[in-house]
């Protein structure tokens, strides 16, 4: 028996739109996001282009078998995760990924690309996503045990890394009017930074942060590296923290054109899903666009 006692009552966020209909799950898309901080999922009605469910469960385990056990226990107790959906995707939150230009990518060498930068983990399986807008592949790894039990519940599950929707949203053609732009996403202990110039991805990396001031330190480093003018360049930000993260608040003193990042695409959301939640789960909400 699992050691944890997760059930629906344990969900920190449990939002279900009035239009949700269990009998219509075959026309819905299920997006799941897992990381060491929690497990979240949303349900998208592909007929009316509307997000109609958002749930989030905290996870206490820091990795290994205990983490898998907590995730498995949530699946066994949640009344929506076992339904039959039109399609399903999983988003893995992890600093471990490597970007490879499409003209250099060879699937047979995917593990070598990742291992060169991050080292080999015997308990993880190498995966890769193609980023059409940026014309590159994102190579990453995900725990084998997590992949195995997700596929048992949803055999057609597709797997993605969080950098895939992050970079895809920054590279979206709707933002080309901002010829040079920076995107920042803040987690509790690390941050992602991406720099786009026109249609070209100039830079992407993950930085560990031990204090809010680290944010401007890394932004300044990117500024020096690429000669980015933080006054004229648009900076898009989002984050998993509540309200305005202190990292962003500090950066705002140095960046004049900060824009709160919203999920891309022409979709609607249940009235329960506030702007703050859409920013917090922007990668999860943008995941379905990577599936298409």
Strands 258-260 and 234-239: parallel
Sheet holding 124-131, edge to edge: 97-101, 136-143, 124-131
* pLDDT the model gives residue 238: 74
Cβ distance 165 to 281 under 8 Å? no
**With b meaning 16 or more CB within 10 Å and e meaning fewer, what string describes 10-40?**
ebebebebeebeeeebeebbbbbbbbebbbb
* pLDDT the model gives residue 264: 63
Instruction: Provide Rg for the chain, Cα atoms.
Output: 19
Per-residue pLDDT of the chain (292 residues; tens, 9 = 90+): 233 345 666 778 999 999 999 999 999 999 999 987 799 999 999 999 999 999 999 998 777 889 999 999 999 999 999 999 999 999 999 999 999 999 999 999 999 999 999 988 889 999 999 998 889 999 999 999 999 999 999 999 999 999 999 998 888 766 555 567 888 888 878 889 998 887 788 999 999 888 877 887 888 888 888 887 766 677 777 775 444 556 556 665 555 455 656 666 678 999 999 988 888 898 999 999 888 7
Q: Which of 242, 154, 167, 245 is nearest to 204 (CA)?
A: 167
Rounded Cα distance between 27 and 7, Å, is 26
Q: Which residue has the tokens 């932004």?
A: 219
* pLDDT the model gives residue 224: 82
Kindly report the pTM of this predicted structure: 0.87
* pLDDT the model gives residue 262: 63
Q: Which of 28, 290, 64 is nearest to 159 (CA)?
A: 290
């Amino acid at each position: 028996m699992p050691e944890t006692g997760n059930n629906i009552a344990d969900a920190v966020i449990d939002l279900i739109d009035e239009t949700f209909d269990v009998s219509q799950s075959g026309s819905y898309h299920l997006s799941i996001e897992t990381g060491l901080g929690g497990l979240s999922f949303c349900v998208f009605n592909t007929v009316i282009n509307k997000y109609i469910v958002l749930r989030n469960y905290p996870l206490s385990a820091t990795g290994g078998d205990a983490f898998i056990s907590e995730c498995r226990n949530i699946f066994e107790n949640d009344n929506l995760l076992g339904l039959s959906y039109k399609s399903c995707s999983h988003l893995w939150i992890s600093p471990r990924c490597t970007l490879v230009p499409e003209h250099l990518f060879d699937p047979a060498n995917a593990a070598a690309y990742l291992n060169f930068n991050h080292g080999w983990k015997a308990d993880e399986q190498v995966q890769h996503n193609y980023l059409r807008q940026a014309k590159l592949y994102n190579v990453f790894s995900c725990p084998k045990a997590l992949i195995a039990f997700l596929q048992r519940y949803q055999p057609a599950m597709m797997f993605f890394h969080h950098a895939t929707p992050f970079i895809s949203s920054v590279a979206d053609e709707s933002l080309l009017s901002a010829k040079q732009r920076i995107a920042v996403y803040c987690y509790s202990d690390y941050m992602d930074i991406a720099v786009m110039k026109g249609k070209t991805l100039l830079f992407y990396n993950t930085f560990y942060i031990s204090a809010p001031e680290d944010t401007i330190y890394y932004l300044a480093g990117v500024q020096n590296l690429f000669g980015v003018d933080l006054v004229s360049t648009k900076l898009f930000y989002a984050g998993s923290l509540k309200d305005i993260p202190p990292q962003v608040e500090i950066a705002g003193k140095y960046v004049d054109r900060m824009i709160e990042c919203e999920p891309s695409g022409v979709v609607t959301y249940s009235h329960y899903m506030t702007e703050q939640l859409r920013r917090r789960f922007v990668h999860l909400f943008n995941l379905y666009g990577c599936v298409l």
